[in-house]
Chains A and B, each alone.
With several copies, the nearest count.
Chain A
Amino acid sequence: MKIKLFYFARLKETLNYSTEDLALPDEPITILKLKALLAKRGDTWGQMLMGKLKVRAAINHELVADNATIHDGDEVAFFPPVTGG
């Protein structure tokens, strides 16, 4: 399956990625598993996604918990806790 990924704020800046298209095996995957998968790309990725930093995730523009499941065609985003207002 194919998903679209977005990174924001500190994650975007540190990973130097704002968006990417990702091809994944055709089976359900949770946010947590996707994070673990991406963390294998290297130390920076591991630190940003599985380290001490709190990371929040959205699927198709909805905030979701780590056990939420990603489906084919979903837009997934990773970002720090929000600080607007």
Chain B
Amino acid sequence: MTVRVQTEDFDIGFELKQLRLARQDIGAVVSFVGQVRDINEGDAITTLTLEHYPGMTEKSLENIISQAKNRWDIVDALIIHRVGTLQPLDQIVLVAVSSAHRGDAFNACEFMMDYLKTEAPFWKKEVTPQGERWLEAKQADDDASARWNMKK
């Protein structure tokens, strides 16, 4: 498993290729990339700053991958999350999963994103023309994360 927390951008093509070519029994790679949107809750976004808790962040991301490996038949997984100050259209996060068959990869990838949203210690602060504001956690994210406890 690979977990990286970094200020630099990442190259999705390169990362997915590494994951895909790692083993010849891999048939599927599912990935999620998140990017900074220009508008959030109706306001234009100038910049987005991501703070995190060094040490705990890496541990929690590794734990999320371990949970996914326990639940689904996947080969490997990767999480790259950026921190620092970003702008609209910048990439924020990449979550990717390789597996023999597609169903496991889709489930594991979505599970990892939902858990990352509620368990990994990252915090976002937006700068808008009206000033700065910390993002509030969303009930929808808690719900998305909680539904995995009900699925097989």
Contact = CB atoms under 8 A, between A and B. Distances in A.
A and B touch in the complex (CB under 8 A): yes
Interface of A: 6, 8-10, 12-13, 54, 58, 61-63, 77, 79-85
Nearest to A9: B123
A83 B59 contact: no
A8 B121 CA distance: 9
Interface in B130-146: 134-138
Interface stretch (B10-18, B46-54, B65-73): B46-54
B47 to A, nearest CB: 15
Given A83-B135, A85-B122, A58 B117 contact: no
Interface residues of B, number: 29
Q: Rank and list the top 10 A-B pairs by shortest CB-CB distance, nearest first.
A: A84-B122, A81-B137, A9-B123, A61-B56, A83-B135, A85-B117, A83-B124, A10-B134, A61-B59, A85-B116
A58 B121 contact: yes
Contacts, number: 76
Contact of B118 (A79, A80, A82): A82
Contacts of A12: 51
Interface of B: 34, 50-53, 55-56, 59-60, 81, 92-93, 102, 113, 116-125, 134-138
Given A8-B53, A10-B134, A85 B123 contact: no
Given A8-B51, A9-B51, A9-B134, A82 B56 contact: no
5 contacts: A12-B51, A62-B56, A81-B118, A81-B136, A83-B117
A10 B134 CA distance: 7
Nearest to A63: B119
